Structure 1
């Protein structure tokens, strides 16, 4: 008990907590919320008076700014008068504020009643329009017998006419009453306060009764409203599209309800998500560092993926997915007010004009999940670097599932989907966002720090980058395998195959791209899996080059296995680790170079991989443009294992930094080309057709 200081958005009491105290606001203001509707209580307001001691709070009390309240024990109704009587000096302020709250409560009750009455009247209109609208969008007309017993809401008169006029007049003449009446005697003020609190309690009881009617009304009409919401969404889509399907008008309204009705998830998740999005949207300081704001951001993600899963599954059998739902699946869009009108229009336009990658290697997360669900691809690894089947064996070993359950789950599309959503989507979404403590999975205009059309990452942008990076580091995505065909006399030939990675566009506006896994399972010839925010807030080229450097390092570690840092088995990682570990003894490095290396290692916390990625960026951005940034040893290692393309090598032939490296590399390549060329010639002389893989390898080596 005593004085309590509250930060902005800090919750004093939450609906469902036990009622044990009563508070008087001495500084700031508090929002009193029930069913998403609120009134604001300022200095002098009494908090908790309509509640019942020992019961659960009906309302939630949240500080709107830096606020102070004085707390008192609240064990019975008699405590209210004791508290009021113990504050005679501020009784005029208490009286004025309590009368104001009585009027605000009455206004809120009237407002709530008009809203639910409008919903009831709209239900009659929708029932009349439903059959024709359903037919017009190609949906079956259903029966809704549960709607037959719904009665209209009844307005309970919380206060008589004279009481209502009495309190409104007192409130309209607040200043006069404080000076001429309330200030005369604490007993007079206390009398007004107790009567006003009684009026507040009556009104609160009426609001609770109306809230109960609203909950039952929504439960009974939920199925019909779900059907009607989808019909409207599909009808609106038809209106938005011109004759050739181009967007002509964008006027998205009530997107959250459309998405929730479409998803048709369990009632608890649906209502929790609806409630938390409304609270999140109405919280101004939702990205500050307070515990309440952190908890609010975490709450947004709690049911998001349940809704996402339900909407995804329904979309698989729907040939005309509502635009709001597709924007949700592609971009994390949930509410037009949260996203902002202009952003909503741009998201709609981007969704409508999106073109899938013909090669299927650049995909939205929605397209990716469809591949996993259809068992076209295996689920991705989890946070413990376990693939799907390893994770199942771990569950079986720990006793969480049986042998039969494990066998069933191996081929169950839904279980595979849940695994992918829990791991790749949920974890990858947070990772690509770039600021984990600030992460929310929903699209929020607060996070839009670059124009959407500039930040947008599409298929063309990714493929153009691949073309650019291959023009420099041509062997970046190559994997080596062995080809043999005894029938034509080929016992063994090493083949380099270019394997373009999958790029999965995560539904957020973030700053990072990341390598999720280098290969699928243990097959080294399978594509890597990259993730990147579909809206990138950083310089796209830098983000992608950094990603490629990370891929170079991790792919080498995967290929080398336990020998990845063993210098007796030369590789990119082993040579680079050896160079950094013993740089102080390297006589090829000057004192200045050693000092720079010492500083760089300190900057990257002695993380060799991160330093390599940094130098790889310099190699691609600057060294490839004849602007030296690397020292002699680093340049030699990176060029040896990440050589420039033939075009650049020819251009750099006379460059003093690269001349000798290029000669050495050319001799090495000629040594590889010769046996392939001889093999092709021998096959032709024997009258056989040369396999395409050998032709491709010959052309690859010439690059």
Structure 2
């Protein structure tokens, strides 16, 4: 097991209770939150145990005795690692007090409260078990299906190599049963793979929960759902009832630990069997098969698409596991990507760019900091401070968090002043100085802060960003547009527009005739608000934020992490393949023909994408619209250097964009269920999920956890479901409940070809039929209106034809 992904929250009192440590006292908490972790490392230092633990559950506590469930039945050690976050003031009690159930007997009210909190812990663990079993079933189906395809390729492509991994040899029996279901493959078809995948029944079609003794959980679920007053009176009737139920609940608690650990170990085994850091895995065997076929000059047309598809799907499964348990499996994705780079989908085109000599680049970058500072023209005091700070940083290379916060704040402020001064002058003079371009594009300052290979990589990538890239801008190009007035500055963090700020300043100004809207003011507003905030957020390092590009923040191979317009266009295309209407919005017809003025049309409006000069792992959806006009573009912000998956980043921003755009378009009616919209329907679903009879108790528990995890923020709750919809449901993995699936299908539909494939699947059939009926009804209404126009002698304008085409292709 590799290290767990853990971040410490410094804002509240925290205390760890380490798994395997002796319970010397029962610590009763205050109000707060208790995170429960399960370790896969026996013994060792506390830090090692924490780093090798998976986060299973998190639940609210109030006077919860940490250690009480663990010492049941003469146990003396913690069964899990607990992290308490909340009010300070833990109180200790001897373990003997709780082993004799004194709190339950002497104070029934407190005993009932304790029982309810223990039940909340048990219920959360039970939910984790169910979700892990479902994940294992999905991965098991996936592994068996991929294994069958391997044997199909081995048979049809005459592969001589015999696989040595057990999971493939075990799968041969499944292939004998399923090979008749795999049609001849002239090209790889996702639909055929899905059909084959659905042919496997996990666990032989049996309910995997049946192998575990969990009747007590169902009993306690029913008990806790009855009227509170009746339940409390039942327990108060005799202390023995409370003691008995607590005893049974703690037995279940210890059983669940065994069951959960077993299922998670199985998850690891399955995921490592698909790809691991050794060379014995499903994907590596497939790549070996591909290499063998290529070397024999036989046709490999099917294999590259198949390998890339199952690799992408596997990455999604790993990401889901790691996000759910806040734990890194330690799978080397860089190695996987490197291996996949050898699986060519088409012949690589030779690079026609003229290579620049490394020595020439390094020579040109000498003295870059002095050139940038001198060119800026900022005050000498700021210049000296900035240079002194960088020189000291180069000499000692301290950790950023070891530099005094006040000194860092001052340096950061000077950095943005420097950027503002340089870009203002650069936009007018356009000097041919690569050091200035690298500063404005990447945040590069000094060649001593980077390795020669990194400098060369940044230098050679500059030509990849031309001025004519549609709606994709480097920050320097964006700022030039702001200075010239071609684009209005972005809103500030409070959502206030530049125009409104200028208007208020004009109102307060004594000289009403003076023009406050100057180049410098526009630039300063954009840098002070959008640029400063986005730079910090995109870097992803709030506690150790440093705006200058350094050796440790980026890899040696710059091309691998550079966010080029081509990569962004590709990620946009992949987003639109899954949610093709994400950037469409309803607008009034804008042409000159008066008779069409009341027509509402669907129009696609792509957002502007701005590349902030930072290396980071986060992107921002800054604005859903850039002006009062409904036709104005949104604004997405990406770091110019990132090792993250751009498509996944784009999907997250798209979810936030969909939500905010709908809110803006609906105005005050955004959550009014009498108006059918994405935000109103989803908000109603969240508000009423407890009473929704279409949801199972397990589904309701997941929703409750999701709401809590996202602090009741509706946009974030929706975005999480949207990500599951596009990342997993699109690929055939069922991650949403049927209510959310219906909402997503209605407002964020897949393309027509994908929906056609889903029509015959039971979970989609009803909502698909409703959607198609509604779509056809809209098409008939539009065709009837447009037919009346043409009969009256009017020619349909392109906007109207595009609108009709949209609904026909929807």
TM range (shorter): 0.5 to 0.7
Partner of 2:166: none
Partner of 1:531: 637
Distance in 2, Cα, partners of 1:280 & 1:250: 23
Counterparts of 1:89-168 in structure 2, within 5 Å, are none
Does 2:379 correspond to 1:266? Answer: yes
**CA 1:670–1:345 in structure 2 vs 1: closer, same or farther (change >3 Å)?**
same
Distance in 2, Cα, partners of 1:637 & 1:443: 43
Instruction: Answer yes or no: is the 8 Å Cα contact 2:441–2:613 preserved in 1.
Output: yes
Cα RMSD over matched residues? 2.2
Instruction: Answer yes or no: is the 8 Å Cα contact 1:300–1:441 preserved in 2.
Output: no
Q: Which range is displaced more, 429-438 or 314-323?
A: 314-323
Distance in 2, Cα, partners of 1:490 & 1:330: 45
Number of aligned residue pairs:
454
The Cα offsets for residues 577-628 of structure 1, whole Å up to 9 and x where unpaired, read as 2211221111100111111222222222222221211111110011112221
**CA 1:372–1:643 in structure 2 vs 1: closer, same or farther (change >3 Å)?**
same
The Cα offsets for residues 345-379 of structure 1, whole Å up to 9 and x where unpaired, read as 111111134334542x0111111111111111111
Partner of 1:516: 622
Partner of 2:549: 443
Counterparts of 1:681-696 in structure 2, within 5 Å, are 681-696=787-802
Does 2:694 correspond to 1:588? Answer: yes
Distance in 1, Cα, partners of 2:353 & 2:555: 33
Instruction: Answer yes or no: is the 8 Å Cα contact 1:362–1:504 preserved in 2.
Output: yes
Distance in 2, Cα, partners of 1:337 & 1:303: 20
Instruction: Answer yes or no: is the 8 Å Cα contact 1:339–1:444 preserved in 2.
Output: yes
Partner of 1:404: 512
How far has the Cα of 1:339 moved from its partner?
2.3
Instruction: Answer yes or no: is the 8 Å Cα contact 1:503–1:532 preserved in 2.
Output: yes
The Cα offsets for residues 148-168 of structure 1, whole Å up to 9 and x where unpaired, read as xxxxxxxxxxxxxxxxxxxxx
The Cα offsets for residues 206-257 of structure 1, whole Å up to 9 and x where unpaired, read as xxxxxxxxxxxxxxxxxxxxxxxxxxxxxxxxxxxxx986523312211101
Describe the SS at the equivalent of 2:763. coil
How far has the Cα of 1:403 moved from its partner?
5.3
Distance in 2, Cα, partners of 1:456 & 1:404: 47
Does 2:442 correspond to 1:335? Answer: no
> Structure 2 length normalisation: TM-score?
0.54
Instruction: Answer yes or no: is the 8 Å Cα contact 2:562–2:642 preserved in 1.
Output: yes
Unaligned runs of 5+ in 1: 1-242
The Cα offsets for residues 262-287 of structure 1, whole Å up to 9 and x where unpaired, read as 22322222222212222233333232
Unaligned runs of 5+ in 2: 1-351
Does 2:725 correspond to 1:614? Answer: no
Partner of 1:72: none
Partner of 2:655: 549
Partner of 1:236: none
Distance in 1, Cα, partners of 2:788 & 2:410: 68
Partner of 2:462: 351
How far has the Cα of 1:482 moved from its partner?
1.5
Distance in 1, Cα, partners of 2:596 & 2:466: 43
> Among residues 230, 247, 250, which one is paired with 2:356 in the alignment?
247
> Among residues 473, 484, 494, which one is paired with 1:374 in the alignment?
484
Partner of 2:807: 701
Does 2:419 correspond to 1:308? Answer: yes
> Among residues 253, 266, 283, which one is paired with 2:396 in the alignment?
283
Distance in 1, Cα, partners of 2:556 & 2:785: 55
Does 2:323 correspond to 1:323? Answer: no
Partner of 2:406: 295
Describe the SS at the equivalent of 2:636. strand
The Cα offsets for residues 461-519 of structure 1, whole Å up to 9 and x where unpaired, read as 11111111112211101121122779574352210110010000000001111111111
Instruction: Answer yes or no: is the 8 Å Cα contact 2:588–2:597 preserved in 1.
Output: no
Instruction: Answer yes or no: is the 8 Å Cα contact 1:247–1:352 preserved in 2.
Output: no
> Among residues 734, 741, 744, which one is paired with 1:638 in the alignment?
744
**CA 1:270–1:702 in structure 2 vs 1: closer, same or farther (change >3 Å)?**
same
Distance in 1, Cα, partners of 2:356 & 2:790: 58
Does 2:763 correspond to 1:647? Answer: no
How far has the Cα of 1:394 moved from its partner?
4.2
Who wins on radius of gyration, i.e. which is larger?
1
**CA 1:455–1:244 in structure 2 vs 1: closer, same or farther (change >3 Å)?**
closer
The Cα offsets for residues 110-140 of structure 1, whole Å up to 9 and x where unpaired, read as xxxxxxxxxxxxxxxxxxxxxxxxxxxxxxx
Distance in 2, Cα, partners of 1:273 & 1:638: 51
Distance in 1, Cα, partners of 2:590 & 2:410: 57
Does 2:561 correspond to 1:455? Answer: yes
Describe the SS at the equivalent of 1:657. helix
Instruction: Answer yes or no: is the 8 Å Cα contact 1:373–1:413 preserved in 2.
Output: yes
Partner of 2:519: 413
Distance in 1, Cα, partners of 2:537 & 2:640: 13
Does 2:674 correspond to 1:565? Answer: no
Describe the SS at the equivalent of 1:421. helix
Distance in 2, Cα, partners of 1:486 & 1:253: 59
**CA 1:354–1:490 in structure 2 vs 1: closer, same or farther (change >3 Å)?**
closer
Does 2:611 correspond to 1:500? Answer: no
How far has the Cα of 1:449 moved from its partner?
5.2
> Structure 1 length normalisation: TM-score?
0.62
> Among residues 767, 787, 796, which one is paired with 1:661 in the alignment?
767
